[in-house]
Amino acid sequence: MPDFGSLVSIGGTVLIEHLSCLSNISGFGSLEQVNGDLVINDNADLQLVTGLGGLTTAASNVEFLDNAKLGRMLGMTQLTTIAGALRLVNNSILQDVSGLSSLVEVKGDVEIIPDDLPAGLESLVKECAPWEVPDQFHFHCNQSDDRLRTFLVWVASLLAVTSVALSFCEKPWDIDNISQEGGKLVVKTRGRHFLWRRNGASFPVAFHNTGSSLLENESNLHARVCGHSLLEVDVGPLMGGVLEEIGGKDFSGTISVGRLQEFTRIWFLIPLFAWMVLGLLIFVTLGLILRLTVVDLLKICTLTLAAAAVLSLPGRLWMALQRRKEAKARRMKMEKAQILARLENAGWEANARERQEVNKALVDFFGWSEADLEVHWQETLKKQSQEAGVSVAYLLSDEFLELAQTSSGLEDPTFYDLKEAFFYSESPIGQDVECPRDGRKGCALVDVLPRCHRRACTHFLSWTWKYSLSTVRSALKEWLDREGQNPADVFLYMCFFVNNQYRILLEDDPSASDNLEDVFEGNLSRVGKMVALLDTWDDPFYLTRIWTVFEQYTAVKIGIPVEIIMSREATSSLINEIYKGAEGILRVKHSLGHVDSRTATAWNPKDEQKVKALIEATTGFEKVDWKVRHFMVTWVARQVQDLLIQLVKEDQASEVSAYSRAVDYRRCSTDSQMDRGRNSNLQRRSTAVL
């Protein structure tokens, strides 16, 4: 065959066919481009193709057809691109096309008949994407809409599950507040924690940034789920120390489950671990449907996990920033609360210097204006006036005793007498003092007391103004001596002192009396403890007054602990009566169990009508009487029991004392005998020496 050595380009088709004597195509060494088809067809003796070595591009089809003896194609070594189709058809013994090893792209179809792929076309093999369908020899990848949808579902499922898993991995939950229930701490989280209740099973938890070293340093804390945002934490013997650390503070910080516990504990209809297993099953199943290799699975899995980590990172970063922002807000809130607590303390103590320092801090750090400071100060004084109680130390003091006796001119005045002396005399106490509650002249007695005797109430005193001063003082002293409390630490909500009597008595202000019933459920609930002062056990005046009966009923109804106190004389009389046995006990029971709220009275008829109307409209007289009667009888039974226990203890103490004296006597006798023996021996030795 001619060499055509100078031929570089052919603008049309190259057709070599039906040449029976042609055994080798070795020419065309300089040919670089064929703009038409290149067809080698039906050359019966063609065995070898070594030419066309300079050809780089075929602009159309390249076809080798029906060359029965063609076995090797070693030419066309520079051919890289075929713009049309590649057809190797009916070349029966063709096994080697290594000359086409540089071929990297066939833009048209590839047809090879028979189906056996000859060596040398490996460079044409393509790696198809999971959503693409390869042709017979993997030379072309065709996109499939069904496979694309399947792949997207597959990746999305894995991505979603993995992202959620990474988002919740070692997730801490912000603590909203913490409280005590029995021997456990109940932690309330901000929002739902999505932890699985699972039959009350416990799991390890850890606290962070709480300000409690005991909680943060303890590594063996366990909790159980008791609500969508509640966790019950067992702190064991640490409870006392923890409560001391967090007492009176706004609790903050975070709580997290133990390492890897979130995968079995976090719950979205099923546990997070189950979601991950489900996602893995979907991943494998769809991988099998897509006919992916293990390498492809691992590759896509790695990429998906990386994408999930990247996608979860903004969420985790946002949560971290939100947590830091909330922590800063809580810290500012706590600092503000501490500063305001200092301001409140300055109000209790009338400390002008402390108030000035606090005002400066509020202006500098929180941007308060002078108007804000003044409004808050007035609200603080009003609140303290309404919540202040009188110190028992003041009631027991010589100062108050002298004031009461001097003002009333009586040795042992009742509080009705003191009412006249304090509020109706020529120099009423507090008449010219501005009341912090309404800004008008005339204030409650508690507002003119020395600051050390005026603090937030610790006990609500249920009593009547008919009591004498000595009765009240004796009962209070007897009570505190028995309880071992310091009178300076006990502050009573005592209506004579805490109510503004200038509005109630002198002005007969209806608004001052309209809300007196709120004292029971409002102030009584706020104070939390009630002390009922009885004048005597024998037909006590206390049980004939509608106010005291209703106070007693309300305390029992809302579960406020009530302690009954009496003067020393009344207490001694009660004990003597109980000593009489069944007859005395029944008499005490009958006397203290006689309650009739329907016939009970009040000093002010309007108050009597109001309280009785309130009883009739709510519970009824019978229920009030029964509850108060039941409480009083129960108290009598408790007094009898306490007296019996005291007698038993006294008997045991006397027996122990007698036994101790007997033992001491025997020991002294033995010691005397030993001393006499030692003295006799010493005397004999001395005589021997002399």
Residues 579-630: tens digit of each pLDDT: 888 888 888 888 888 888 888 888 888 878 888 888 888 888 888 888 888 8
Bridge partner list, 268: 270
Question: What global pTM score does this model have?
Answer: 0.60
Which of 97, 95, 100, 120 is CA-nearest to residue 56? 100
Supply the pLDDT for residue 382: 94
Supply the pLDDT for residue 525: 85
Bridge partner list, 456: 388
Which of 555, 566, 562 is CA-nearest to residue 624? 555
List of residues 6+ apart from 552 with CB closer than 8 A: 462, 532, 562, 628, 631
Residue 644 has pLDDT above 50, yes or no: yes
Residue 245: pLDDT band (50, 70, 90) is low
Supply the pLDDT for residue 49: 87
List of residues 6+ apart from 288 with CB closer than 8 A: none
Q: State mean pLDDT over 435-445.
A: 93
Supply the pLDDT for residue 263: 52
For the chain, give the mean pLDDT.
Answer: 80
Q: Which of the residue ranges 352-361, 476-485, 548-557 would you say has the lowest mean pLDDT?
A: 548-557
Supply the pLDDT for residue 459: 94
Task: Output the CA torsion 55→61→62→67 (10° steps).
Answer: -150
Please say whether the beta carbons of 307 and 199 come within 8 A.
no
Specify the residue for token string 């630490």. Answer: 489
Supply the pLDDT for residue 665: 44
Which of 267, 203, 198, 252 is CA-nearest to residue 232? 203
Widest pairwise Cα distance in the chain: 164
Residue 517 has pLDDT above 70, yes or no: no
Supply the pLDDT for residue 58: 87
Please say whether the beta carbons of 437 and 503 come within 8 A.
no
Q: How far is CA 282 from CA 131, 268, 506, 616, 624, in A?
A: 16, 18, 84, 70, 69
Q: Which fold has domain 153-315?
A: Elongation Factor Tu (Ef-tu); domain 3 (2.40.30)
Please report, for the chain, the start and end positions of each structural domain, with discontinuous segments joined by +.
9-124, 153-315
Residue 163: pLDDT band (50, 70, 90) is low
